[in-house]
Structure formats: structure tokens, C-alpha cells
Structure 1
Amino acid sequence: MDYLPDDNSRYKDVEYWDERYKTEQCYDWLGSFSNFKHLLEKYVKKDESILILGCGNSSMSGDMYSAGYRSITNIDYSSVCIGTMSARYSDCPGMTWHQMDVRQLCFPDASFDVILEKATLDAIMVEEKTPWEVSPKTASFIHQALTEVSRCLKPGGRFVSVTFAQPFFRKRLYARTEYNWSIKHHSYVEGFEYFVYIMTKGEELSLEDAALERKLLEDTKSPPTTIVTTQNEDTEDFLCNIDL
């Protein structure tokens, strides 16, 4: 594939994405919206306000708009992406596009009913070597992003995270009392099993997830030396190399 970088670390560089978006028309990480539409419809109403993090050039926003979701705010840190997508969907009232960092969302508290990300957090963790222990730098990045997500959600709002990461690993990032949300998850299959996490603002962690948080805070043991990984069939290889 022409857009594959020489090194996975480049997935974190805005310069890489700016250059890629100059020529690439569309790419949908983890499959298209139609594959998890049935799950989203359970948690997101058509008239709710939606923020999409790291929108990229995915068709997801347009597909959601066509499905009846008409209040969609999109952000990405690539100015090239935002310029292209804004022009592409200029005839869609209620669809807006903004260049923005997920760690510093320029919206007031409690702005959205739903915040959605698909593979954006996965891309942030491209250089992680083990699912058991995220590096301090990446952990800080993720924490800043999730803190902003929680801040911008309305009471009862939902954070929807679509990822290839299995619950055993991804819940380690989401199960924190300070985010003030509960966690549910579902999965869908498109040649490979992907996961949809639903975090609901204002609900408490389940007993199981609260216990996980306590364990992570207390556990000082070294990670296992043998880690079972899964292979991913997505054409972009960074998804094959991390299991977070």
C-alpha cells in the first residue's frame, strides 16, 4: 500500500498525515460504519449531538449523516484533512470540521451527548511493545485525552470507542473512577473481531471494573514474560504489531 510509513512511529506525526491526506481519498480503519451501525443505534439517538475524534478521511461521518445523524462535529489534528473533508461535506448542514488536539478540546464542559472514536487511540499507541504496561508518555497522552472526553460529555452522555483491543487490555485504560463513567462492550466481525466500548457518563464502574482499577493501582508485579497476541487482518500493519 502506497501510504504505509517506513516506521510505525510515523503514525503519530502530523506531517505524515498531512502528506497522506493530500492524495488519499478515503480509508476506513476497522471496517465501515455499516459493520457496527446496529450497535451504535442502541446507544445513540439520531437527534443527539456527536463529536468524532480523529475523523481522518473515513467515510464514517458521511455514512452516519446519511443514516440520519445530523449533528456531527468532527476533529482531526491534520489541517489538510479538515480542509478536504470540510469541502467534501459542505452541503451537509449540521456537519462541522475543526483542527484540534484530542488532549485539548476547545469545547465547553458538557457539550456533547456522544463522543466517538474509531482507531484514534489505537494510532496513539503505535509504539507500545506490550499490552501489559503502557509507557508513561503514552499513558499520559491517553489520560489527557480521556479526561477531556469526560469533561465534554453531558451527564448521561456516552463515549463510544471502536478498536481492535480486547477487553482484558483496553479496560485497563478506561476503568478509572475519575472519568465518572461505566463501561460496557460489544464486538463485531469483519474478517477479524473488533470491539465497541460504551462508557456512560455519571454511572459508576461495575464491581468487576472497580476491582480492576484497584488491582492496577496496587499491582507492582512485573508483567508476564510470555504474551499471547492476536493477528489482525487490517491492511495497515501497525494494527498487527500492538495489542493494546
Structure 2
Amino acid sequence: MDHVPDNNRRYGDVDYWDERYRAERCFDWFGDFSTFKHLLETLVCKEDSILVLGCGNSAMSGEMYDAGYRRITNIDFSSVCVTAMAARHARCPGMTWRQMDARQLDFPDASFDIVLEKATLDALMVEEKDPWKVSPQTACLIHQVLTEVSRVLRPRGGRFLSLTFAQPHFRKPRYARREYRWSVAHHTYGDGFHYFLYVMTTGEELSPEDAALETRLEEEQEEEEATAPPSRVPVLQESDTEDFLRDIVL
């Protein structure tokens, strides 16, 4: 692909994305809207207020709008992306585009019924090599995003929908924390290669199984902190194709 960076670290660099969005019109990770539309129709009402994290230049928001979801707010940390997408969808009243960091959302508490992300969290994890042990830096980054997601969702019956290739035994421990005040469920979609849709519903308790995941993760983190060397040099996973995302399985 023409837009693959020299190393995965650049996926966290806004300059890389600005440059990419100037040249690339549209790219969809993990299937287009049609591949998971049947799942969203059971989880999202047409009148719901929806926040899309890391919207990029995906066609998803426009396709959702055409399907009747008219209250969509899209954010991305690339101003180039936001400007281009706002112009492209000027015909869509009720759909807005804002430059924003998902770690620090500029919205009041309980602003949305739905928060939706597709591959945004995966992009934050591209430097991770071990699917069983996420680095403290990445774990902190993901926690910041999820804390903000929990805050801006309505406290009862709000839903965070996360679309990813990450299998449940790798991804559920990231989502199953009592402080987020939500339950965790998941569905699969796609033909051949399966993707996952995780559904976090606010105001519901974690299942005993998911609560145990949080306890186990805390114990592992405490053990790792006690035995870790003073510093750790990250090893980057290089790739000449964005199919590397399928191999991270976080």
C-alpha cells in the first residue's frame, strides 16, 4: 500500500495521518458498514446521539447517515481529516466533525447514547509485540480513552461499541473494569476472517467471569511491576502491509 509508514510508531504521529489524508480519499478497516450493519441495527436506535472516535476517512459515518442515523458527531486528531470529511459531508445536516484527542474529549458528561470506534484502539496498540502483556505505557493510554468514553456516555443504557480483530481473551481484560461502570459482551462478524464487535453497556455490572478478569489483570500488573527491570526498550514490529494489524491480536 502506498501509505504504509516506515515503522509502526508513525501510526501515533499526527503528521503521518495529515500527510496520508491529503493523498488518500477513503480507507475502511475491518470491513465496511454493510458487514456489521445487522449488528448495529439491534444495538443502536436511529434517534440516538452517536460519537465516532478516530473517524479517519472511513465511509462508515456517511453510510450510517444514509441508513437513518442522523445524530453523528465525528472526531479525529488530524485537522486535515476533519476539514476534508466535513466538506465531503456538507450535505448531511446533523452530522458534525471536530478535531479532538480521544484521551481528552471536549464534551460534557453523559453527552452521548452511543460511542463507536472501529480500529482506533488497535491503532494505539501497533507497537505491542506480546498479545498477553500490554506495556504499561499503552495500557495507560487505553485507560485514558476508556475513562473518557465512560464519562461521556449516558450513565444507564449507554453503549460503547468497539470493532476490532482482537479476540476476547486479549481484548476483554482491557474493557472489563468496574470503574467504567459497564458490562461487556461481544459478537463476531465477517466472512472468512472474523472480526469482533464488543458491546459495553453502562449501568450494568460485570459478569462474575469478567470481574475475575480484572482481578487477574491487577495481580499480573503488580507482579510485573515488582520484577520488572528499571527500563524496557520497546521492539517495533515492522511491516510492508497494513495486514500486520491482524497479527497483533490485542
Matched, 1:236 2:242: yes
Mapped partners of 2:249, 2:115: distance in 1: 23
Mapped partners of 1:62, 1:106: distance in 2: 23
Mapped partners of 1:237, 1:121: distance in 2: 16
Of Structure 1 and Structure 2, the greater strand share is in 1
**Structure 1 residue runs of 4 or more that deviate by more than 4 Å after TM superposition:** none
Of Structure 1 and Structure 2, the greater helix share is in 2
Tell me if structure 1 keeps the 8 A contact 2:177–2:214. yes
Compute the RMSD of aligned alpha carbons: 1.2
Mapped partners of 1:115, 1:242: distance in 2: 24
SS in 2 for 1:84: helix
Mapped partners of 1:151, 1:190: distance in 2: 34
Letter in 1 for 2:245: L
Residue 191 (structure 1) shift: 3.4
Letter in 2 for 1:176: R
SS in 1 for 2:96: strand
Structure 2-normalised TM-score?
Answer: 0.90
Q: Deviation per CA, 1:135-170, whole angstroms, max 9, x where unpaired?
A: 111111100000000000002100000000000000
Mapped partners of 2:5, 2:219: distance in 1: 38
Matched, 1:34 2:34: yes
Letter in 1 for 2:248: I
Letter in 2 for 1:141: L
Letter in 2 for 1:171: K
Mapped partners of 1:30, 1:113: distance in 2: 23
Which residue does the alignment assign to 1:96? Answer: 96
Residue 238 (structure 1) shift: 3.4
Letter in 2 for 1:239: L
Q: Deviation per CA, 1:12-32, whole angstroms, max 9, x where unpaired?
A: 111000000001010000010
Residue 8 (structure 1) shift: 1.2
Q: Deviation per CA, 1:216-235, whole angstroms, max 9, x where unpaired?
A: 1223667xxxxxxxxxxxx6
Q: How many residues align?
A: 232
Structure 1-normalised TM-score?
Answer: 0.93
Which residue does the alignment assign to 2:142? Answer: 142
- Structure 2 regions of 5+ residues with no counterpart? 225-240
Residue 242 (structure 1) shift: 1.3
Further displaced range: 189-198 or 173-182: 189-198
Letter in 1 for 2:161: V
Tell me if structure 2 keeps the 8 A contact 1:185–1:196. yes
Tell me if structure 1 keeps the 8 A contact 2:31–2:190. no
Match runs of 1:151-170 below 5 Å: 151-155=151-155, 156-170=157-171
Tell me if structure 2 keeps the 8 A contact 1:8–1:238. no
- Structure 1 regions of 5+ residues with no counterpart? 223-234
Tell me if structure 2 keeps the 8 A contact 1:130–1:243. no
Letter in 2 for 1:162: L
SS in 2 for 1:237: helix
Mapped partners of 2:192, 2:95: distance in 1: 31
